[in-house]
A and B are shown apart, each in its own frame.
Chain A
Amino acid sequence: MRLAWREVLLAFRRSPALGFLSITTIAFSLFAFGLFGLVAINIQTALHAIENRVEVRAFLVDGAKETDVNELLAAVARLPQVADAGYVSPDSALQRARSELAEFRDVMEGAMLPGSVELRLKPGMRDPETMKQLSSRLQTYPVVEEVRYGREWVEKLYRVRTIVGVAGTGLGLVFALVAVIIIGATIRMAILARTKEIEVMRLVGATNGYVRLPYLIDGTLKGIAGGLIALALAWTANRMVSSSFMETTFFTGEQMLLGVLAGAVIGLLGSWISVGRHLRKVWHDR
């Protein structure tokens, strides 16, 4: 084992350029994968936040009577799907709009907004079917003019997340494949540079495993290094977005570990394939 580590160090000292090339490729493949991953994660986070706020809003007819509104509130509160219900008067609706959409304050000067009843649903009752039923039920009250709910939005976001996830995985896999090939090629060059040494090893009775080990360690270490660099790049990118555009979520510890592990696997795979092919060849040389 000690000997294997020595060989690894020696290999890197002999061809640092090749080493850096492998590490860089792995780093970029994982970085691409990581960027898409980050976007997917942040969409997911946004989805959770939105899902918690999913509400059904029943806009009321102009000049709805207070008794009618109260009757509606009481009826709605009894429904099993509803977590809570509240009345938003035309005035407070306007106030809220002003504060949330400060840029459009001038436009809203003297505007009229309809009053509404806002319903928050219990968790597990937020699927489109339940919402549709509830919506048609609300529609039966004469005081209700129109019912709206944000499900379309949520579904759109879900779809975007899926697309980003698929695109990221696809692109990541392609990059990973390229990384495996490049690692394989660099390990192959390293092996070719040491054909003589390997020949001597086999001559004196080194096992396949013994010949292979330094290269496998070599590939795995480069993979881990690539993974760490990719992580650093992704972190930097995340910081930049976070500080200048919007608050974003970064990977959890487990996800980071998984990324570095993926690098290790790519490195190991590339060197395994390459060494295996070479060893089969030298057994039956000339």
Chain B
Amino acid sequence: MAGILRLADVTKDYARSGIAIRNVSFELNKGEFLFLAGHSGAGKSTLLKLISMAERPTSGEVRVSGFSSSTIKEREIPKLRRRLGIVFQDFRLLPDRTAEQNVAFALEVTGASRASIGPKVSRLLMQVGLASKATAFPHELSGGEQQRVAIARALVNDPFVLLADEPTGNLDDKATHAIYLLLREINASGTAVVMATHDVSLIERTGLRFLELDKGELIFDGTDVARLKADLRGAGRR
């Protein structure tokens, strides 16, 4: 399977806070589901920012969907963003817009035709199980429901990969599981998913590939959860 996303020896050194990512290399295959594990501050969010090119590496190269971090021009970044779906722990919904307006907003800003927006929004809200709450405002929705809206919004441009930065970080166990199932469903339909989480039990239940980051370094790439658990406990003791 061809790599759709590749990091080659990537280092990100912030002038003020120091090195956030050190010599990280990995590849994501088409349609894969990949976890990013590690403590908070390990570099998971920075890694996702490097992939969405909100940040450029200090050295090394990030290649996403034909774009390279070394050559991409600022005005090309919107093009890249339209091929990615991004969700965050804090949902980032616009509070003065309803669920369907939030999803439609993402289509409007990319210049989609008005006629195409309505049906697509309905279909996406249906897909994330929120068809009945289309006209609710974010503050009228539970955390899990808000994250569903955010996921629907992330899917408007049919991304080839969904980047999720601790998407369940603000949710209870039940909602976490539901969101995870939704992401698996999306993955099953062909969209690759990169999900950052510090929830080891979630990774353990799935048995999927994960990258473990520690202080910006990639210390493990595989499926051996026992190792991850030991590492995190060890880190906890230190």
Contacts and interface: CB of A to CB of B under 8 A. Distances in A.
A207 B78 contact: yes
A200 B77 CA distance: 14
B235 interface: no
Interface stretch (B1-9, B21-29, B58-66, B79-87): B79-87
A204 B94 contact: no
Interface in A1-52: 3
A251 B82 CA distance: 52
Interface in A48-67: none
B157 A208 contact: no
A132 B195 CA distance: 93
B109 A205 contact: yes
Contacts, number: 50
B78 A200 contact: no
B55 interface: yes
B92 A203 contact: yes
Contact of B105 (A199, A200, A207, A283): A200
Contacts of B42: none
A74 interface: no
Interface residues of B, number: 24
A212 to B, nearest CB: 12
Interface string B50-79: 000011000000000000000000110111
Contact of A283 (B74, B79, B93, B110): B74
Contact of A199 (B75, B92, B154): B92
B156 interface: yes
A167 interface: no
Interface residues of A, number: 17
A49 to B, nearest CB: 58
B92 A200 contact: yes
B108 A203 contact: no
Contacts of B108: 3
Given A3-B108, A196-B92, A210-B109, A204 B81 contact: yes
A202 interface: yes
B48 to A, nearest CB: 12
A207 B92 contact: no
B148 interface: no
A281 interface: no
B94 A206 contact: no
A284 interface: yes
Contacts of A199: 92
Contact of A205 (B81, B92, B94): B81
B79 A205 contact: yes
Contacts of A202: 78, 81
B34 interface: no
B161 interface: no
A205 B78 contact: yes
Nearest to A197: B94
Interface string A159-203: 000000000000000000000000000000000000011011111
Nearest to B107: A204
Nearest to A204: B106
Contacts of A205: 78-82, 109-110, 157
B198 interface: no
A204 B156 contact: yes
Nearest to B103: A204
B155 to A, nearest CB: 11
Nearest to A1: B111
A196 B55 CA distance: 18
Nearest to B86: A203
A122 to B, nearest CB: 64
A201 B75 contact: no
A280 to B, nearest CB: 9
Contacts of A203: 81, 86, 92
Given A197-B94, A200-B94, A284-B55, A207 B157 contact: no
A206 B74 CA distance: 12
Contact of A206 (B92, B93, B110): B110
A197 B108 CA distance: 13
Given A196-B92, A201-B109, A208 B81 contact: no
Contacts of A197: 94
Contacts of A208: 74-75, 78
A205 B82 CA distance: 5
Contacts of A283: 54, 74, 77
A277 to B, nearest CB: 15
B47 to A, nearest CB: 14
A204 B86 CA distance: 8
15 contacts: A196-B92, A199-B92, A200-B93, A201-B109, A202-B78, A204-B110, A204-B156, A205-B78, A205-B79, A205-B80, A206-B109, A208-B74, A208-B75, A283-B74, A285-B54
The 6 closest A-B pairs by CB, nearest first: A205-B81, A205-B82, A206-B109, A204-B106, A205-B78, A207-B78
